[in-house]
Structures are given as structure tokens and as C-alpha cells.
């Protein structure tokens, strides 16, 4: 393919192909079951973030990068925010809205959270029989205390039989309509209770299409540095399906470095795209072998922020709710730019598209991309912590009757969707 530069950097940016410059793709397309993902990149599920509006924005940017390289399949894989299986089975209204997709989303990807094989199977059956998804991801990585204290998320793989039962049930349901299932997990509960290698092999044996590893333990949450050596070891251990790496990918260069250091088949990007959905343009270009990167002006960033708000309005069907949602994105979009605390604070209180427009109009649209000041970590890192678990959870790798009763209530502790 040819090298790519960009003329403009907003959603209307037009890729320009420079003839005669040949680039070599870094990785082949990612294959998740029957799906071919041209750019081997996955948008990580993030609660309250990766709704249909944000996925649309990321997808449009990713498509720009993929199209510039002549790709014909899906640019990347964009996964929904976590959906609890109990809420789905009970057809919670908010959950049913969260699993909706745009007509252009392909493959339609949904992440499920479960602690009970029967409920997991029932939820997967709904997605399969009612044609609501083309790919199902299973969450075994959530480190949030309200999840781990009931044995869910990153605490669950410690119970080997329960992990296998949930994965096996969903894989079996998905197979009825050739819907691949993947697993996303962490290294383990803490450094003394690692589960990722055993869980990766178990998932492979149960028939998943790929496994993704966030190179942190639950105890780390989002603090410290992701352990890419663990991702490398998982790739060397799980050999028949793709292995994806997650953690500390803040730029396309980080993604390329992860591939070089670990040998993974693709990357999963979470916090790195907060306030910068054009990261998917960069990633598509980078994996196609191009050095082109998007460096928007403040005006172009403002236009993207406004588009995001419009997409949220369409998603919620409620302008005020959309404006409340966009508030948490303001700091991420403006990171490194000269916006001033007064304007930032006003934007963080915006309650209508009109007020948003008035405030954005005061920005210096010509302000250039600030470079390093806008790069790097996004979102709160926090600090390491003690993982809250059910009493006696670490005493055995098998599920006791007492713990079976505890986890029966686990999904009730997680809000629907």
C-alpha cells in the first residue's frame, strides 16, 4: 500500500495517498472466528464510555485510517460497555438500549459479565437467537470492589471450575450461529494469586476465538506499569488462537512496541482513546506500515467534541442527558491545550448544545496540537489496593457450596448494563 498523510484531521479529514511510497503492514488482519478485522485493534469495553455514540466516533476515525490503506473489512473491533447477564435475561430497559448497535456496526460486539453459568448461557442465547450480536466478549478483568467482593470479574478465574463452566456455556450457545466468543482478563488477583496462564489455556480448550490480557493484577487496578512480559508469556503459552495485549497503550507507537516486545496478534486500547478517538486513525495507519499521525488543532478537537455530544444526544434521545455525559470527556479532549480553568469549568457544567456552542466559540481554533503535553496517560491511575473478596475465597481453587451462594447474588451488586 502507499504511505498516507492527512489533509485536515477532523471527521471530514481526507486521506491523501502519496504515490510510489510502499509500506509494509506490521501485522496481518486479526481473525476472530469468522470475522476479519483489518486493523488488529480492539476498543476495550469501558463502563459509561463505550456506548453506541462513542463507538460510532471511534469507528468513523478508524475507518478513515483503514480506507487510506485500502482495507475492505472492519477497521477495528469496537466492543460495547460491560453488560450484566442477569440484567439482559431480565430485559432491563437500560440494558436493552445498551446492546443496540448502529446499522453500520459490523461486527456487532457485546461484552458480557457473569458469575453464573446458567445465567450466562441464557443471556448468550438471547443474543444468538434474537440476532443481537456477531461477537461476544466475556469480562474476567473488572477490578472494581463491588464486583470482586462477590467473586466476579478478575476474582472469578481463581475458581477454575466456575470459569470453565461460564466460558463453555457461552461458547456452546455462540456456536449455534457461528458467533465467536473471546475472553478478556487480568493477570490475577495479586502477584501471589496469578491465574492468567491457566485461564488462558482453559479458555483455549473451551473453544474461545481469542484471549486478551491486561498486564495488571486486580490489586494494581490502573496503577503502576502494565506487565508486558506476562502478555508475552501468555502468547507463548496459548498457541492455537490469537492473543491480544492490553495496558499502557497511549499512542500508536506504544502499540507497535507492544507487538514487537510480546509477539501478540493485536492490541486492546482503553484509556488511551479517551478524548482522542482519532487514535484509531493512527493505529490503522501504524499497523498498515505508515508513519502518518493525526495532530488536530484545537478547533478540530472542538468540532470532534461537539460531534460526540450530538451522537450522545441521538443515543439517549435527550439533549440534557447527553450534555451531562459529555462533561466527563471535557478534560480528556482539552488535555494539553491552552483553554484556561474558567472555560474548562464552564464546559464541565454544560447543559445544552447551544451553551456548548457558545463556549466552544471562545476557544482559539488555530491553536496547534500541543504535542507531548497532550500525550501520555489519560484517566485516573489511582494506586494499588487490597482486593476485596468473599471470605475464604483464596482457600481453594474450587467453588464451595458457600461461595456458590455468595456468587448467586453477585450480579445483583452490579448495576444493570
- Which sequence positions are flagged as catalytic? 142
Cα–Cα distance, 403 to 397 (Å, whole number): 11
Contact between residue 38 and residue 29 where contact means Cβ atoms under 8 Å apart: yes
Phi-psi region of 265 (alpha: psi -120 to 50; beta: other; left: phi over 0): alpha
Cβ burial of 72 (10 Å; 0-12, 13-18, 19+) is exposed
Cα–Cα distance, 260 to 254 (Å, whole number): 10
Cell 442527558, located at residue: 321
* DSSP H helix total and E strand total for the chain: 16, 15
HSE-CB at 378 with a 13 A cutoff on CA atoms is 26
Contact between residue 411 and residue 116 where contact means Cβ atoms under 8 Å apart: yes
Beta bridge partners, 246, equal 214, 268
Contact between residue 399 and residue 162 where contact means Cβ atoms under 8 Å apart: yes
Distances (CA, A) of 241 to 39, 105, 129, 219, 319: 17, 24, 26, 28, 43
Cell 496540537, located at residue: 369
Where is 110: in which H helix or E strand? strand 109-113
Cα–Cα distance, 251 to 262 (Å, whole number): 17
Backbone angles phi, psi at 313, to 5 degrees: -60, -40
* DSSP-derived pairing of the beta strands 181-186 and 135-140: parallel
CA dihedral for 28, 31, 37, 41, sign (positive or negative) = negative
Amino acid at each position: 500500500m502507499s504511505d498516507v498523510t492527512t489533509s485536515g484531521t477532523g471527521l471530514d479529514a481526507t486521506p491523501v495517498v502519496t504515490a510510489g511510497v510502499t509500506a509494509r503492514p506490521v501485522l496481518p488482519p486479526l481473525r476472530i472466528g469468522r470475522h476479519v478485522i483489518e486493523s488488529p485493534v480492539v476498543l476495550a469495553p469501558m463502563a459509561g464510555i463505550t456506548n453506541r455514540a462513542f463507538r460510532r466516533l471511534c469507528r468513523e476515525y478508524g475507518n478513515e485510517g483503514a480506507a487510506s490503506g485500502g482495507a475492505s473489512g472492519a477497521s477495528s473491533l469496537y466492543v460495547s460497555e460491560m453488560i450484566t447477564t442477569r440484567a439482559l435475561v431480565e430485559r432491563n430497559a437500560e440494558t436493552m438500549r445498551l446492546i443496540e448497535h448502529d446499522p453500520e456496526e459490523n461486527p456487532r460486539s457485546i461484552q458480557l459479565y457473569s458469575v453464573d453459568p446458567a445465567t450466562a448461557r441464557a443471556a448468550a442465547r438471547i443474543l444468538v437467537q434474537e440476532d443481537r450480536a456477531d461477537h461476544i466478549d466475556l469480562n474476567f478483568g473488572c477490578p472494581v470492589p463491588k464486583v470482586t467482593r462477590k467473586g466476579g470479574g478478575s476474582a472469578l478465574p481463581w475458581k477454575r471450575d466456575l470459569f470453565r463452566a461460564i466460558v463453555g456455556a457461552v461458547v456452546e450457545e455462540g456456536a449455534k450461529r457461528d458467533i465467536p466468543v473471546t475472553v478478556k482478563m487480568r493477570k490475577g488477583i495479586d502477584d501471589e494469586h496469578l491465574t492468567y496462564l491457566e485461564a488462558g489455556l482453559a479458555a483455549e480448550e473451551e473453544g474461545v476465538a481469542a484471549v486478551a490480557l491486561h498486564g495488571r493484577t486486580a490489586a494494581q487496578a490502573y496503577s503502576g506499569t502494565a506487565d508486558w512480559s506476562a502478555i508475552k508469556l501468555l502468547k507463548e503459552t496459548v498457541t492455537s488462537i490469537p492473543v491480544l495485549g492490553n495496558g499502557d497503550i497511549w499512542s500508536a507507537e506504544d502499540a507497535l512496541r507492544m507487538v514487537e516486545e510480546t509477539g501478540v496478534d493485536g492490541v486492546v486500547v482503553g484509556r488511551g482513546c479517551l478524548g482522542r478517538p482519532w487514535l484509531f486513525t493512527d493505529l490503522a495507519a501504524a499497523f498498515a506500515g505508515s508513519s502518518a499521525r493525526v495532530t488536530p488543532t484545537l478547533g478540530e478537537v472542538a468540532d470532534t467534541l461537539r460531534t460526540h455530544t450530538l451522537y450522545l444526544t441521538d443515543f439517549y434521545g435527550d439533549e440534557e442527558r447527553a450534555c451531562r455525559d459529555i462533561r466527563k470527556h471535557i478534560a480528556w479532549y482539552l488535555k494539553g491545550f491552552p483553554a484556561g480553568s474558567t472555560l474548562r469549568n464552564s464546559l464541565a457544567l454544560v447543559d445544552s448544545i447551544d451553551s456548548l456552542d457558545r463556549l466552544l466559540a471562545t476557544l482559539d481554533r488555530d491553536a496547534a496540537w500541543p504535542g507531548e503535553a497532550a500525550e501520555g496517560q489519560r484517566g485516573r491511575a489511582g494506586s494499588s489496593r487490597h482486593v476485596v473478596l468473599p471470605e475464604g475465597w483464596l482457600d481453594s481453587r474450587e467453588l464451595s457450596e458457600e461461595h456458590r451462594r455468595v456468587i448467586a447474588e453477585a450480579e445483583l451488586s452490579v448495576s444493570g448494563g
